[in-house]
Amino acid sequence: MPEVIEVIFEKYQRKPDQLIPILQNVQREFGYITPESVKHISRYLRISENQIFGVSSFYAQFRFTAPGRHSVKACLGTACHVRGGATLLEMLERELGISCGETTPDRRFDLERVACLGCCALSPVVQIDADIYSRMTVNKLSELLKQYE
Amino acid sequence: MTKEKTIQITIDNKTIDARPNQTILQAAREYQIYIPSLCAMEHLSSYGACRLCVVEVDGLRGFPTSCTTPVEEGMVIRTDTAEVKGLRQEVLKLLLSEHPASCLFCTEQDECKQYMGTIRKVGATTGCRYCPNDHRCELQQIAENIGLTETSYPVYYRNFPVEKYDPFYDRDYNLCILCGRCVRVCNNVRLNGTLSFKQRGRVTTIGPAFDRSHIDAGCEFCGACVTACPTGALSVKVSKWYGRPEGQVATTCNYCSAGCRLILQTTKTDVIDALPDYDSAVEHGIICVKGRFGITEYVHSPLRYGTPKEMTPAGYNDISWEEAIAKAAGKLSGLKPDDCLIVVSPQLLTEDLFVAQQFIRQVTGSEEVASSFIFDLDGDAASFINLALASEPFETIEKAQGILAVGFDSTYGYSPIGVKAKQAAQAGASLMSLNSFESNLDLLSKIAFVVNSSRWADVLDLTMSRMSKGKAEKRFADLVEMWGSDLNKTCETFSCSSHNVLIVGPGIIDSPDRGKILRSIERMKNEYSWKVVVAHQYTNLAGMFAMGACPGIKPGEMIKEASADKAVVLKAELIHIDLRKKRKLIYLIGDASFDSLPECEFLIYQNALPPQCSRQPDLILPVSLFTEASGTVISAEGRVLQVKEAVAPYMDSKPDWWILKSIAEKMGKGKMKFNDVSSIQGEIKKIIKGFPAVKKRIEFKEIEVKGNVKTHGKGKPAAWKSSYRGIPLGEVVSGIKVIELKGG
């Protein structure tokens, strides 16, 4: 891991304003921001780990847990919300036993909420990996999850 | 000097002069015009979070926040129109919608204050104390000033568990209003970076990364965040629930040689808290954990001696002062100078040290003024003293281009020096740190050498050889291999710069190779003109030498009046204190270095707390500590700093000088006719002009040792822990034990 990080650092100047590009690159590389990588970034940019965490936790794009094999995204945009998106999310949280931004212990699923997937006419929608599932209901979603291993 | 340009502004129909770089709030505060604010603080940059300081300004749209709006010529500002007041009330209501407000709006508040009623079915009359900072809360004060008597919004309780697992202070983020003072003081003033805002929006909280505990996240427990917090979210464990302090006294911390000013908050009998003073010229409010949190528990330790005690076959017996003085006088009289060993702590006040040396010379006729620092430093005492007494002021670090810190770490001590080094590094100075463990300067260092102290002298020598472009010797081969290219770059900046500072930390005292290291430091100072700043734990070492409370040096002899003053010549045998010879009597004045002491027939122990060893003193004389005594200390920078009595002495304890003087009087020896501290100061005035109100830094002559110093070689000093009067702080202050254990 340290070698991979060193390679990432080579692309960036040793200045605090490079923090976000470095974090993005680290997340691309490892799938999430690991505590260990935060330590390395801290030493490289000479800012404390806590400050790095403060910046990265502000943005929804960074995650601090390992992603699962399949990523489930529940849409809570206006249209989906009106048509029961929140119920779907609640059901997902209950079924998977995790809350938003977390990964199941078996690393099968991770769960996120999104603001809009751009297909409001099909609401409520849920995205699993690259596929969009439209007009979802709690029952359909429960069946659907079984197809993913 | 040209007078600074001023800008005329009008606030509430009053014309005032402001300076160009001021904000409206700063200008108003200077003229005692009240504008409420919860997020602005004098030494912090503008932030504009709380929105309470809104004002009306002619020509500006809306209601600008006065803490972020700079003054302009001819500005007309109104701070108390009905509209502004209404707006502030609304803002405060919104703030309080996430802050439990029963302490502010309770129908029974007045009765509660008066009768302290309680709803419990017991005889307790406590009132409902839901917040540890009740009556010490800025938010409460502001709600009163703004005149808010009720709120129309429901309170949303965030329901966080109270965090109590770190030492020194508790955190209840349910009371937090996210003003950001703690985050800014931690990052911008202390340059520590433990606290930051986590996440955003209504789930925002404050704390370190990954929900770590503060101790794991690198917190220095300097308490700056607790001081800055305007609510009860952060509260000091030992002083919470005390309510409003009854008095406060500005004094000087006696835990190390930096001489930080502390504002002690007191009740009638207790010191309840110690706060930093951001206006102090010494440390500018940058105090460390020892001063901030280490005092209350030490001075109010349940182990403190309250009365003189005498050892009997059945254990200790309380005796009166008269008996105790008579006993000590009896044991001391008729002894030959060689028969007794008197050990004086460098952590006494200057006045006590003056009386102590008079006592030793006039009463016992001995010249052997022993002290624990001589035991610690053994044969290297003279070279360390020369370095320490010639320490440059802390400001030297500010403008440094190159800084090298040896054996120095400011995590849990020496904060003013550490923060200055970090500031200089942020401003572009090359910082190099050399230590046997990862220090808190490493993050900002160009190179951080983590090597055993036996190699420190080598690293220093290598730095010097690189600075003069010399060829690397063979003994440096492994160092060059490890850090070669970085070292070359850093040494280049060192050799180009005319202002390099070497920070010498207490780590070198513990090192078995300190002799070699000290010689290398001397070379850097003399041959490469590095300026040296020394941080050490011997609080009043400078006072000791000024007062002549050391062997072979007369009072005032060491004080330099002209720059051409010659070194004081000292015979080697005087520094050598024989720690093997059995003595008839040992008298410890504020010292507890029992491990180094020889055997004796009678042991007098003059201190406040029991020693940390199995050896039992025959006579115990209880002393009052620096919170209970008045006097001065002379800091590492050579400043004469005032120590003021904050509370009355504990039980029957007495100041050191009083005990010494009384014994001498009883024995009918010596000329110590002192009735109070000012009479001693009158005597010291003959040595130091104008004492104790000395503005100038005191400078010292060098010591030149004639002959070879014999080392006593009786045990190496144990790895140093912060201590006061020979008692490790960790043994008395629970939180310090926790952080020392973590330091391993």
CATH number, residue B517? 3.40.228.10
**What is the structure's pLDDT at B426?**
93
CB burial of residue B32 (10 Å; 0-12, 13-18, 19+): exposed
How many Å lie between the alpha carbon of B183 and the closest alpha carbon of chain A?
10
- Report if residue A12 sits inside a domain: yes
Average pLDDT of the residues in A73-101: 93
| Alpha-carbon gap, residue B189 to B180, rounded angstroms | 13
Task: Please give the interface size between A and B, counted as residue pairs whose CB atoms are below 8 Å apart.
Answer: 50
Nearest CA in chain A to B192: A48
% of chain B beyond a pLDDT of 70 = 95
Residue B231 scores a pLDDT above 80: yes
Average pLDDT of the residues in B172-184: 94
- Report if residue A64 sits inside a domain: no
The reply to whether A89 and A129 lie within a common domain is yes
| Contact at CB, B196 and A38, closer than 8 angstroms | no
Written as one letter, the residue type at B492 is E
Interface test with B, best of A34, A41, A49, A50 (most B CBs within 10 A): A50
- Report if residue A88 sits inside a domain: yes
* Torsion-angle region of B285 (φ positive above 0: left; ψ -120 to 50: alpha; else: beta): left
The reply to whether B505 and B411 lie within a common domain is yes
| Alpha-carbon gap, residue B354 to B488, rounded angstroms | 49
pLDDT digits (tens, 9 = 90+) for B545-582: 999 998 889 999 999 988 778 888 888 877 788 888 89
B193, B207, B218 ranked by CB distance to A47: nearest: B193
Written as one letter, the residue type at B642 is Q
Of A15-29, B186-200, B308-322, B465-479, which gets the smallest average pLDDT? B465-479
List chain A residues with CB under 8 Å of B444. 46
**What is the structure's pLDDT at B510?**
85
Residue B719 scores a pLDDT above 60: no
A43, A46, A49 ranked by CB distance to B209: nearest: A49
CB burial of residue A55 (10 Å; 0-12, 13-18, 19+): middle
Residue B152 scores a pLDDT above 90: no
Q: What is the CATH number of the domain that holds A43?
A: 1.10.10.1590
The reply to whether A51 and A83 lie within a common domain is no
The reply to whether A6 and A46 lie within a common domain is yes
- Report if residue B699 sits inside a domain: no
**What is the structure's pLDDT at B126?**
56
**What is the structure's pLDDT at B121?**
56
Residue B4 scores a pLDDT above 80: no
H-run or E-run covering B679:
helix B677-684
Q: Which residue, of B44, B60, B80, is where some domain finishes?
A: B80
The top-scoring range by mean pLDDT among A127-131, B236-240, B473-477 is A127-131
Estimate the crossing angle of helix B456-467 against helix B514-527, to 10 degrees.
20
Q: How many domains does chain A have?
A: 2
Q: pLDDT band at residue B165, thresholds of 50, 70 and 90?
A: very high
The reply to whether B143 and B20 lie within a common domain is no
Residue B661 scores a pLDDT above 70: yes
Copy the structure tokens of residue A74.
């529940």
How many Å lie between the alpha carbon of A38 and the closest alpha carbon of chain B?
9
pLDDT digits (tens, 9 = 90+) for B510-520: 888 899 999 99
User: DSSP character for B689?
Assistant: T
Q: What is the mean pLDDT of chain B?
A: 90
**What is the structure's pLDDT at B529?**
92
User: DSSP character for B391?
Assistant: P
- Report if residue A109 sits inside a domain: yes
- Report if residue B682 sits inside a domain: no
Residue B617 scores a pLDDT above 50: yes
Question: Between vectors from CA A122 to CA A120 and to CA A123, what angle results, nearest 5°?
Answer: 65
Using the Cα atoms of residue B725, residue B730, residue B736 and residue B741 in order, give the sign of their dihedral: positive
pLDDT digits (tens, 9 = 90+) for B364-422: 888 889 998 888 888 888 999 999 999 999 999 999 999 999 999 999 999 999 999 99
- Report if residue A75 sits inside a domain: yes
**What is the structure's pLDDT at B374?**
87
The reply to whether B468 and B397 lie within a common domain is yes
Written as one letter, the residue type at B152 is S
- Report if residue A65 sits inside a domain: no
Counts for chain A of helices (H) and strands (E), in that order: 7, 4
Q: Which residue, of B18, B48, B80, is where some domain finishes?
A: B80
Interface test with A, best of B190, B205, B442, B443 (most A CBs within 10 A): B443
The reply to whether B72 and B194 lie within a common domain is no
Nearest CA in chain B to A40: B443
**What is the structure's pLDDT at B715?**
47
Average pLDDT of the residues in B473-487: 81
% of chain B beyond a pLDDT of 90 = 68
List chain B residues with CB under 8 Å of A53. 196, 198, 208-210
What is the interface pTM, i.e. ipTM, of the complex? 0.89
- Report if residue B658 sits inside a domain: no
Nearest CA in chain B to A49: B209
List chain A residues with CB under 8 Å of B187. 48, 51
The reply to whether B273 and B400 lie within a common domain is no
The reply to whether B392 and B518 lie within a common domain is yes
Q: pLDDT band at residue A21, thresholds of 50, 70 and 90?
A: very high
- Report if residue B34 sits inside a domain: yes
How many Å lie between the alpha carbon of A36 and the closest alpha carbon of chain B?
11
**Residues on chain B bordering chain A, Cβ-to-Cβ distance under 8 angstroms:** 187, 192-200, 207-210, 217-218, 443-444
Nearest CA in chain B to A58: B199
Average pLDDT of the residues in A27-44: 94
Residue B3 scores a pLDDT above 90: no
Nearest CA in chain A to B447: A43
How many Å lie between the alpha carbon of B422 and the closest alpha carbon of chain A?
11
pLDDT digits (tens, 9 = 90+) for A62-72: 999 899 999 99
Q: Which residue, of A26, A58, A90, is where some domain finishes?
A: A58
Cα maximum dimension of chain A: 52
Nearest CA in chain A to B208: A50
| Alpha-carbon gap, residue B184 to B187, rounded angstroms | 5
The reply to whether A54 and A76 lie within a common domain is no
Is the distance from CB of B348 to CB of B679 less than 8 angstroms? Answer: no
Average pLDDT of the residues in A114-131: 92
Of A79-88, B155-164, B567-576, which gets the smallest average pLDDT? B567-576
How many Å lie between the alpha carbon of A134 and the closest alpha carbon of chain B?
30
Written as one letter, the residue type at A41 is I
The reply to whether B134 and B39 lie within a common domain is no
pLDDT digits (tens, 9 = 90+) for B51-72: 999 999 999 999 999 999 999 9
Q: Which residue, of A58, A78, A104, is where some domain finishes?
A: A58
Interface test with A, best of B178, B184, B199, B211 (most A CBs within 10 A): B199
**What is the structure's pLDDT at B403?**
96
List chain A residues with CB under 8 Å of B207. 50
Q: What is the mean pLDDT of chain A?
A: 93
Q: pLDDT band at residue A83, thresholds of 50, 70 and 90?
A: very high
Residue B44 scores a pLDDT above 70: yes
List chain A residues with CB under 8 Å of B210. 35, 38, 53, 64
Q: What is the CATH number of the domain that holds B54?
A: 3.10.20.740
| Contact at CB, B443 and A52, closer than 8 angstroms | no
Residue B722 scores a pLDDT above 90: no
Average pLDDT of the residues in B2-7: 76
**What is the structure's pLDDT at B725?**
93
The reply to whether B72 and B155 lie within a common domain is no
**What is the structure's pLDDT at B714?**
52
The reply to whether A40 and A103 lie within a common domain is no
- Report if residue B566 sits inside a domain: no
**What is the structure's pLDDT at B129?**
62
A50, A58, A64 ranked by CB distance to B208: nearest: A50
- Report if residue B590 sits inside a domain: no
**Residue B450: how many other CB atoms lie within 10 Å:** 12
Interface test with B, best of A23, A36, A48, A62 (most B CBs within 10 A): A48
- Report if residue B340 sits inside a domain: no
**What is the structure's pLDDT at A56?**
95
- Report if residue B97 sits inside a domain: no
**What is the structure's pLDDT at B128?**
63
CB burial of residue B698 (10 Å; 0-12, 13-18, 19+): buried
| Contact at CB, B197 and A54, closer than 8 angstroms | yes
Q: pLDDT band at residue A14, thresholds of 50, 70 and 90?
A: very high
Q: pLDDT band at residue B720, thresholds of 50, 70 and 90?
A: low
Nearest CA in chain A to B184: A51
**Residues on chain A bordering chain B, Cβ-to-Cβ distance under 8 angstroms:** 35, 38, 42-43, 46-55, 57-58, 64
Domain with B424 in it: 385-534
List chain A residues with CB under 8 Å of B443. 42-43, 46-48
- Report if residue A51 sits inside a domain: yes
The reply to whether B423 and B492 lie within a common domain is yes
Nearest CA in chain A to B219: A50
Q: How many domains does chain B have?
A: 3
The reply to whether A78 and A128 lie within a common domain is yes
- Report if residue A119 sits inside a domain: yes
How many Å lie between the alpha carbon of A92 and the closest alpha carbon of chain B?
21
**What is the structure's pLDDT at B101?**
81
The reply to whether A25 and A80 lie within a common domain is no
The reply to whether A111 and A51 lie within a common domain is no
| Contact at CB, A58 and B199, closer than 8 angstroms | yes
**What is the structure's pLDDT at B485?**
81
List chain B residues with CB under 8 Å of A50. 193-196, 207-209, 217-218
List chain B residues with CB under 8 Å of A42. 443
Average pLDDT of the residues in B619-641: 96
Strand duo B56-57 + B14-18: pairing: unpaired
The reply to whether A104 and A126 lie within a common domain is yes
Nearest CA in chain A to B426: A46
Average pLDDT of the residues in B4-20: 91
The reply to whether A74 and A140 lie within a common domain is yes
Q: Which residue, of B299, B331, B346, is where some domain finishes?
A: B299
Q: Which residue, of A33, A58, A83, is where some domain finishes?
A: A58
| Contact at CB, B443 and A42, closer than 8 angstroms | yes
Q: pLDDT band at residue B595, thresholds of 50, 70 and 90?
A: confident
The reply to whether A11 and A76 lie within a common domain is no
Q: How many residues does chain A have?
A: 149
**What is the structure's pLDDT at B587?**
95
How many Å lie between the alpha carbon of B371 and the closest alpha carbon of chain A?
42
Domain with A45 in it: 2-58
**What is the structure's pLDDT at B574?**
78
3-state SS assignment for residue B235: strand
* Cα–Cα distances in angstroms (integers) from residue B636 to residues A7, A46, B3, B56, B539, in the given order: 47, 31, 35, 50, 8
| Alpha-carbon gap, residue B171 to B196, rounded angstroms | 14
| Contact at CB, A50 and B199, closer than 8 angstroms | no
More confident residue, B2 or B283: B283
B199, B217, B444 ranked by CB distance to A57: nearest: B199
The reply to whether B55 and B135 lie within a common domain is no
User: DSSP character for B339?
Assistant: G
Q: pLDDT band at residue A75, thresholds of 50, 70 and 90?
A: very high
A35, A51, A55 ranked by CB distance to B210: nearest: A35
- Strand stretches in chain A, DSSP E: 70-75, 109-114, 126-128, 131-133
The reply to whether B171 and B46 lie within a common domain is no
The reply to whether A136 and A81 lie within a common domain is yes
Average pLDDT of the residues in A115-140: 93
The reply to whether B282 and B144 lie within a common domain is yes
Q: pLDDT band at residue B116, thresholds of 50, 70 and 90?
A: low
| Contact at CB, A46 and B200, closer than 8 angstroms | no
Q: pLDDT band at residue B484, thresholds of 50, 70 and 90?
A: confident
Residue B122 scores a pLDDT above 80: no
